[in-house]
Amino acid sequence: MHRQGWVVQGNHELPLVVIVGPTAVGKTMLSIQLALRLNGEIVSADSRLFYRGMDIGTAKPSLAERSVVPHHLIDIANPDQIWSLAMFQEAANRAIHATHTTGHLPFLVGGTGQYIRAIVEGWSPPKVKPHPGLRSVLEDWAEEITPQGLHDRLRTLDDASAEQIDARNLRRTVRALEVIFTTGKKFSEQRGQQPPPYNSFTIGLFRPRAELYKRIDLRIQEMIDGGFEEEVQSLLNRGYSTDLPPLSAIGYYEMIEHLSGRLTLRRPSL
């Protein structure tokens, strides 16, 4: 059912407002405004916001913004403490439940599309134990043929999974192949699904492309002026490996390349 831009999904009683949209479209501002008006709390579904010390490059809500409305799943791990989809689901459902118990309205804001769908659609990740030996072989293979090459191999075996996994996310590519080789079945076919205990209202934000690109350019300018280069250098100085998945995120990867002398920093034309 569509009504005033809201999409109603499910027949369950517990309400959940979901706000999605592309980078720089205005999700943070809208979520805070709505949460203030509707006595809400915000549960982040942006995997980059989990990590401490990654503030500027992720456009993380400021401490002032987080003091106005309670936020969950922000600054909950260090960059070398990688969170899986299953860990996120457990923590997000716990935060949503805690918000309901206080009589507040939870807002799930993303972010990461797969994480949003996992909550709204009630995904159950494959329960296959890690296979360290196989994982090591796959990681060595990725070094030989590049992460993109390994992702291409995944696509030949399970196109549906490849569509859901960013080729730069080596950890998730390896996990999908690990499950496939361990079970002999496609990773995408092993993901269970059960009705989630929420009545979800999804708000999808959009802007004209030219306007959105201008907002992205402005955000990049603000990040650079706000010390993004120094933030990334600080993470490297603290010993975090450039191979960590959080540091391969858009923006961080390019800034690391710049700090390594492989890219030249050029400010966007506004």
pLDDT digits over 255-269, tens only? 999 999 998 887 656
Count the Cβ atoms, other than its own, within 10 Å of residue 265.
12
Angle at 247 between CA 246 and CA 248, to 5 degrees: 90
* Euclidean distance between CA atoms 151 and 165, whole angstroms: 8
Query: How confident is the model over 45-58, as a mean pLDDT?
Result: 95
d(C-alpha 89, C-alpha 114), whole Å: 11
The CATH class given to the 132-183 domain equals mainly alpha
- Least Cα distance to 125 among 135, 133, 115, 113 occurs for 115
CATH of 2-125+195-204, one of 3.40.50.300, 2.102.10.10, 3.40.50.720, 3.40.50.1220: 3.40.50.300
Query: What is the Cα–Cα distance from 24 to 151, expressed in whole angstroms?
Result: 28
pLDDT at position 150: 95
Examine the pLDDT at 3 and tell me if it is beyond 60: no
Where would I find the H helices in the chain? 27-37, 63-68, 85-101, 113-120, 132-157, 159-164, 170-183, 209-225, 228-237, 252-259
> If you average pLDDT over every residue of the chain, what do you get?
88
Average pLDDT over residues 122-151: 87
φ, ψ of residue 256 in degrees (nearest 5): -65, -40
Query: Looking at the predicted structure, is the pLDDT value of residue 192 above 70?
Result: no
Q: What is the reported pLDDT for 128?
A: 77
pLDDT at 216 exceeding the cut of 50: yes
Indicate the pairing of strand 40-44 with strand 71-72.
parallel
Q: What is the pLDDT of residues 218-235, one digit of tens each?
A: 999 999 999 999 999 999
DSSP 8-state symbol, 78:
-
Q: What is the mean pLDDT of residues 25-31?
A: 95
pLDDT of residue 90: 92
Q: Between residues 56 and 85, which one has the greater pLDDT?
A: 56
Q: How many H-runs (helices) and E-runs (strands) does the chain carry?
A: 10, 9
Sign, Cα dihedral of 220, 222, 223, 225: positive
pLDDT at residue 255, as a whole number: 95
Q: Looking at 5-9, 56-60, 173-177, which range is the least confident one? A: 5-9
Tokens found for residue 235:
């993470």
Burial class (CB in 10 A: 0-12, 13-18, 19+), 242: middle
| Structure-model confidence comparison of residues 4 and 88, the more confident one | 88
Q: What is the pTM of this model?
A: 0.78
Q: Could you state, in order of their start, the residue ranges of all structural domains in the chain?
A: 2-125+195-204, 132-183, 209-259
**Weakest-pLDDT range from 119-128, 133-142, 219-228:** 119-128
Q: What is the reported pLDDT for 2?
A: 33
Quick one: pLDDT at residue 269? 62
- 106-132 mean pLDDT: 85
**Could you tell me which of 233, 247, 203, 226 has the C-alpha nearest to residue 38?**
203
Which is more confident, 196 or 229? 229
